[in-house]
Each structure stands twice: as C-alpha cells, then as structure tokens.
Amino acid sequence: MSALVNALISVLLANNVYLLLLLPAVAAVALAFARGYRLSSRLNMAASGLTFLTALTLFAGQQATDRYFLVDDLNIVFVVLNTFVAFTTSVFSAGYIARELETGHLTQTHLRFYHTLYQALLGAMNLAFVANNIGLMWVAIEVATLTTVLMVGIYRTDRSLEAAWKYFILGSVGIALALFGTILIYMAARPVIGEGLNGMVWTVLISRVADFDPALLNLAFVFLLLGYGTKVGLAPMYAWLPDAHAEGPTPISAILSGSLLNVALYAVLRFKLLMAANSNAIAPGPLMAALGLLSLVFAGFMLYRRSDIKRMFAYSSIEHMGIIAFAFGMGGALANFAGLLHMTMHSLTKSAIFFAVGQIAQAKGTKKIADIRGLTVTHPFLGWGLVVAMAALAGMPPTGVFTSEFLIVSSTIARAPLLALPLVIGLLVAFGALMWRLHGFAFGEPTENVAPVKASSLPLAAHLALVLVAGLYLPQPLVLWFQHVAAMLG
C-alpha cells in the first residue's frame, strides 16, 4: 500500500505543472454542463482547491524546464499566491452568487457561464506563469483578458456592458503593444539564435541575450512595459481598471486585484531580467520606477474623489501596483524582497477588502460611499474586518503591508534619497484618504440594511489573519525563499 502511495506521489510531483493546467480545463468543461447552484458552486470550489494543493507541490517537486514550460523559484511564488486567492475567492463566491441569484441579478444560465469562465481564467493565469515560451505567455494573458472581459459584463446592464467594452478596447491595445514587443524580442534573437521556436524560449533567450542588438531590445522593452503595464494598471494606462471593478461581480474584483494584475507584472519582470542581462541595453529599472511613482501619487489623490466604494478600491489597486513597480524598478536585494512581500500582502489584503465590500454592498443595497456608514454597529464582524483590512491597506502596523512599505522606503532612502520624497508623499496622501473614508464606513451614523449577509466570512478572516501574522513574524523558510528570488531579480 505504501509503495502505491509513494508511486502516486511521484507521478503527481512529476506532472504537477500539467495538472495546474488540466484541472481548471476539465473543471471548466464540467461546469459548462452542470445544473443547479449547489452543484456548480461546490465543483468550482473543489476544482480551485485541488489546483491550489497542486501548486503547493511545486515546492517539493523537481523544478523542470522544457521548450514550453518552466518552473523556477520566481514563478512558484506567483503560482501559489494566484491559486490561493482563486481558491478563497471561490469559497466567498459561492454565497455571494447565491444572493445574486435570489435577487434576479443573475440567472442559472449566467451561473454556468460564470463558473466556466472562472476556471478558464484560473487555467489561463497558471499557463502565463509557467510558460517558458514568451509567445505562449502572451497568448495566456490574452485569454485571461478576454475571459475577464466577459465576466465584467455578465450582469448585462448598460453600465456593465460599457465597462466590459472599455476593458476590451484598452486591454486589446495593451496586449497589441505587448505582442509587438514580443515580436521585436524575436527579431533581436533571430541573428544570434536563428529562426524557429528557440527564438521564443525564455531560458534560451536569457542565456544568449548578451549578444542581441541592444537597439531592438530597448524598443521592445518600451512596447512591453506599455503593453503589459496597461494590464498591471499603471498610470497613465489604467483607465479600464476602475470601471471593471465597479461594474463586474465582486468576486471578479477580488481576482482582478489579487491575481490578474500580478500576471502582467510577472511578464514585465521576466523581460526586465532579459534587459538586465545585456550590458548595452537601457536599464529597465528607472522606467518602472517612474511609472510606479506616477501611479502611486496619481491614485493617492484620486482616492479622495470617488463616490463608489468599489471604484475607490480600484484606485487603491493602482496605487499599490505603483508601489510594487517602483520597488522592482529600484532593484537590489532589499527593494526586490520588499516588492515581493508587498505584492503578496496587497493580493491578500485587497481580495479581503472585496470580500467585505461584496457583502456590504448586498446588505446595504448600494455601492455609494455616502450610503454605507456605521458598519461596526449594523454588521460588527464585517465592520471591524473592514477596519483591519483598510488599516492594513493604509500601511499601519503591525501588518505585513507596513513591513513591506517600511522596507521600500528604507531602501529608497539608502540608495536614492531624492526619490524618497515623492514616495512618502504618495503614501501619506493615500493614507489620509483611506482613514477619512474608513471613519464614515465604520463609525458614521448607521444606515439601513435591505438584505441579509449570505457569503462565507472564512475567506475574509483567513486573509486578514495572514496579513496580521506577516506583520509580526515571517517564517524563516519564506524569508530565505524571497531572498533567493530577490537575488534572481537583480
């Protein structure tokens, strides 16, 4: 019996990359034909949970590389975080979507469509992370884009369709720019590597990039940064993101901020490594740092002018992706470590906030900030959960976000003191906006409820617990892992 178990474990570890892609694909097909809310929601949770467990096996499995797939220390971080957020969001989604069915906002047909696309999105994001072929990675990100476009417009209202169309247009422009940058990378590689598939294989490219034409590399990175930067939500290419958050289902807002933005960020980091390996090419760091600072300061001021709660937190995502891009743009062991930690903390915190916001909007029957007040009185758990989540998002101690922001500011002061001024100003501006909004949400005069809360609170509690624990203690294996990845990023 033990021999059989060991054999099964060996097979699993040897094929875990394929399972990361196969499980969502099979689940998507099954969910397309599933009937009934109870069956489809449970199948969606089970498939997402199995995919997360498979992602965890990447830590134990042998890191393999071929012409199509790559598993290394960098993408394991992204895959595990992505599948964890997808799993917890599927648990939250079960109760949330049930309420949408009861109110008539969604139908059974919409439900099958929603769950099928959910698994297709999860599979596409996993493919983007593990692809060793830069063309295959582009295709995966394009599939993820088209999938989320359909999910944003699932309510079929005028505003949701407008948001989906805007997302489609701007996302397509970004993806087209990224495609052109990918083609330029191939053109730079062809004189050195030759024609064929090897000119698109990342591990081959990184080993020979020192001999590539730096002029073509420079032009390619500009297109890649603008193209994938659109998907990251960096200013000034952010315009699709607030509408997509505001009009799409709240679980998709959690996935957008907690997972999908990281997919495009991962692509930028891969190409940043290529640029850094060619001594004659431009340094990619200053471009990333500049866009990051612009996004941080711009989004910080925009937080004061939002009247829709989901739209406000969409601008918060722009702010935090700016912080992350700035950290990776600065580079170096400490800044890269802080960028990885901040990315992880932001994914957990922002998805937790959308878990709370989704239930709050259903309970109050509105997304208007002016009509959501006194939550600690009307919904104590949600109210205090939102207090903790927004305090974490603002960077207050003792949370993981405080730790990562402290490290980013510290590394900036040590290496580029002049850049620390706009960085700190942006952080303080955003802090003020979040604290101002939080006071009304939590402690203002309570407003009337129109519906009971049905979604599970476990995902919210789990995410907040991880964010709080990370602010107090980071396990040594995690620290060593992030340090190793930070060294990889240069």
Residue 9 CA to residue 26 CA, distance in Å, equals 21
Domain extent for 338: 283-490
Average pLDDT, the chain: 90
In this predicted model, which residue has the larger pLDDT, 62 or 321? 321
* Spatial separation of the C-alpha atoms in residues 129 and 272, rounded to whole Å: 15
* Residue-wise pLDDT tens digits, 122-142: 999 999 999 999 999 999 999
Q: Is residue 192 part of a domain?
A: no
Band of pLDDT at residue 11, cut at 50, 70 and 90: low
Query: Is residue 448 situated within a structural domain?
Result: yes
Name, in order, each residue with C-beta under 8 angstroms of 341's C-beta and a sequence gap of 6 or more: 400, 403, 404, 407, 470, 474, 482
Asked if the model's pLDDT at residue 69 lies above 80, the reply is yes
Q: Determine contact, residues 27/87, Cβ cutoff 8 Å.
A: no
Backbone angles phi, psi at 69, to 5 degrees: -125, 145
Cβ 408 vs Cβ 423: under 8 Å? yes
Residue 447, domain member (yes or no): yes
pTM: 0.94
Q: Residue written as tokens 């495009």?
A: 264
43 located within any domain: no
Q: What does 459-483 look like in DSSP terms, one character per residue? A: HHHHHHHHHHHHHH---HHHHHHHH
Indicate the helix (H) or strand (E) that contains 272. helix 261-276
Compute CA distances 380 → 356, 367, 384, 387, 401, whole Å: 12, 19, 6, 10, 24
CA 95 vs CA 89, 244, 355, 376, 427: distances in Å: 10, 21, 11, 22, 35
Give, as one character, the DSSP assignment of residue 8: H
pLDDT band at 108, cuts 50/70/90?
confident
Q: Is residue 103 part of a domain?
A: no
For residue range 196-232, list pLDDT tens digits in order. 888 999 999 999 999 999 999 999 999 999 999 999 9
Q: Collapse the DSSP code of 106 into the 3-class scheme (helix H, G, I; strand E, B; otherwise coil) and give the result.
A: coil
CB-neighbour burial class of residue 246 (10 A; exposed 0-12, middle 13-18, buried 19+): buried
Residues in the chain: 490
Distance of CA 428 to the CA centre of its chain: 23
| Angle (deg, nearest 10), helices 309-330 and 214-232 | 150
Q: How many domains does the chain contain in total?
A: 1
Q: Hey, CA dihedral for 376, 382, 388, 391, is it positive or negative?
A: negative
Residue 147: inside a domain, yes or no? Answer: no
Question: DSSP state, 132?
Answer: S
Instruction: Give the per-residue pLDDT at 14.
Output: 57
* 296 in any annotated domain: yes
Residues 6+ positions from 61 with CB-CB distance below 8 Å = 13, 14, 16, 71
Give the H/E segment covering residue 328.
helix 309-330
Distance CA 71, CA 267 (A): 14
